[in-house]
Every structure is written in C-alpha cells, then in structure tokens.
Amino acid sequence: MCEIGGMLRVAREETGRSIREWARELNIKSDFLLALEECRFEDLPEAVLAKGHLRRYAEALGLDPEPLLAQYPVRPTFTPPSVISPRKRKRRTAWWLWLLLLLLAAGGGLAWWLTAQSRPAPQPEIELSQPPPPPPPPAESRLRVTTEPAGAVVWLDGFRLGEAPVEGSFSPGTRQLRVEAEGYQAFTKEITLEPGGESNLKVSLKPLPREEPAPAAPDAGEQLTLRFTERAWVRVTTPDGRKLYEGIPRVGSEQTYQLPVVVRTGNAAGVQVIINGEDRGPLGGEGLVVERRFPAP
C-alpha cells in the first residue's frame, strides 16, 4: 500500500469509525474514500476533484493535507512509446488489410489464369467500407451557483469552488453540491449536469437555531473546558466508556464537562484545555492523535 493510503487508513482506524460513517459526514462517496485508502487513483474522478476529496478527508482525520497532496500521482498527458494510439492502430490495421487484399487478388488472378481454359469465372468485386468515426467526447456543462446570504462557500464533489457567486465548466454527470456559511445550516444536494447544458442554481441557507446555554455545573468538583481553536475531530467519554460527545465542533466554540472524563482527538493542537478557568494549553502538537484522561480531584 502506498504512503497516502496507509496514513489515511491508520488515522481513520484511530478514530474508531468506518469509511461509511466518514463518507456520510463529509458527503463524499464511500467508494472514493476507499479508493484513496487503497491508492486506486484510477478509480477517482479528475485530479482536481480527487485532490479536493483527499484534502477534506485528511483534514477531517486531523492530518496535514499538504504532504499527502504533494505525493498525489500526476497522470501523464503523453502517449508512452510502447502504447499504440487509436489513430496509429487504425492505420496499421488498414495497411494489413490492403496487403491481405493484394495477396487475395494475386492468388485469384493466378487461379483464373490456370483454369481460364476449362472454367472461366468472373472475379468477384470486393467493396471496402470505412469504419465510422469515433463519437466526439461529451460537451462540458456550465454551472452557476448564487447563495443567500452572498459569499457562502460552494463545494462540488468535495472540491472547494470558492465563495458565491461561482461559475465554471465541468464534466457532465451526477455531482454532489454542498454550500456552507458561518451561522447557517449546510445545504447538500445531488445535481445532474447535462452534456452541453447550463445550470443556474440559487441556494437560500437557513440560519442555525440559537444555541441554548449549557446548564451550570455543580460547584463541587473540577470542570474541564475544551476550546476549539482549529478544525479537529474529538470524542469525549466517561472513564467507563460512556460516550458524551463525538464530532467536529465549530472553530471558536467551547464545551464544558464535569471530571473525570477521557478526551481523544485527531488534531491535538486545535483543542485547548482549561481546568477551573486555568488555561493548560493545547492537548498536543499539530496533527497528532492524542488520548488523555482527566481524573476527578
């Protein structure tokens, strides 16, 4: 297995979640995530979208995506010398066909000369038909997306297109559209781009419901507050394994728990630890998978 797939698989197994669970959370087809872990790059879409999948998957697992993107194979744009292009193959086939016809004609002429006295026979005519030309590649489809509010981030098959309004030409087919904006519910929809067609979509995002303040913890005992300064997957459980939370919190948000608890994260640098108001710093280094127990006083 190549290094890209190995790092992704190990990081995912550290999270204790399956490929299907991550595919649902990231809105990426599970076949694409499996192809990345198995380094089957030929089963992925065009490179620009495949790299978008790789970046989102790596960031969700708490990995630095840049070293992985640097190792992504570059698909050759030339025809290797050992490979015969369709045009050359057609010419070679035609040359052999003409040679075969010449040999058949010569053999027929010799047979006619030998039997002309006893059984003359007219030479049959051979008609050649040219194969039909290959069909042209499907025309690209134009897509334009506007949002309310303006400036929302638009993703297509996991590739970040930019802030709305955005537009461009893409290969036809079924695609996954996702629109995100701070303070609004994410919008996800499967769209179909027709060959040579043009699609104009306007997405109106719904505001997130206001978060109710968490109930105050009892005075007795220590409190642990997790402040999320970067995007990071995190799981919080009790010492006996009962899950209190699992997911990727919004950057800038905080969560408070009564000790004792166990905290596990895929990006230790993005999780700040505060105990009874005292800042204890991050859980660990950038991109590290860390599990730490916080016992009761």
The per-residue pLDDT for 158 is: 75
The per-residue pLDDT for 70 is: 87
| Spans of all domains in the chain | 3-71, 141-204, 223-294
- What string of DSSP letters covers 82-108? TS--HHHHHHHHHHHHHHHHHHHHHHH
278-282 β-sheet, strand order: 254-258, 223-228, 271-275, 278-282
The per-residue pLDDT for 81 is: 41
Both tokens of 265, joined, read 């994260």
Residue range 3-71, CATH number = 1.10.260.40
> Is it true that the peptide bond before 260 is cis, omega within 30 degrees of 0?
yes
The per-residue pLDDT for 100 is: 74
At 248, which amino acid appears? Answer: I
- Which architecture, in CATH terms, is 141-204? Sandwich (2.60)
The whole-number mean pLDDT for each consecutive block of 10 residues of the chain, a chain of 297 residues, reads 83 92 93 92 90 91 89 58 45 64 68 58 57 73 92 84 89 89 88 91 86 45 90 94 94 95 94 93 90 90
The per-residue pLDDT for 83 is: 40
- Measured at the CA of 190, the angle between CA 187 and CA 195, to 5 degrees, comes to 130
Going from the C-alpha of 96 to that of each of 90, 102, 167, the distances in angstroms are 10, 10, 49
Q: How many CA atoms lie within 13 A of 202 on its CB side?
A: 3
The per-residue pLDDT for 219 is: 47
Q: What's this model's pTM, rounded to 2 decimal places?
A: 0.35
Question: Where would I find the H helices in 184-290?
Answer: none
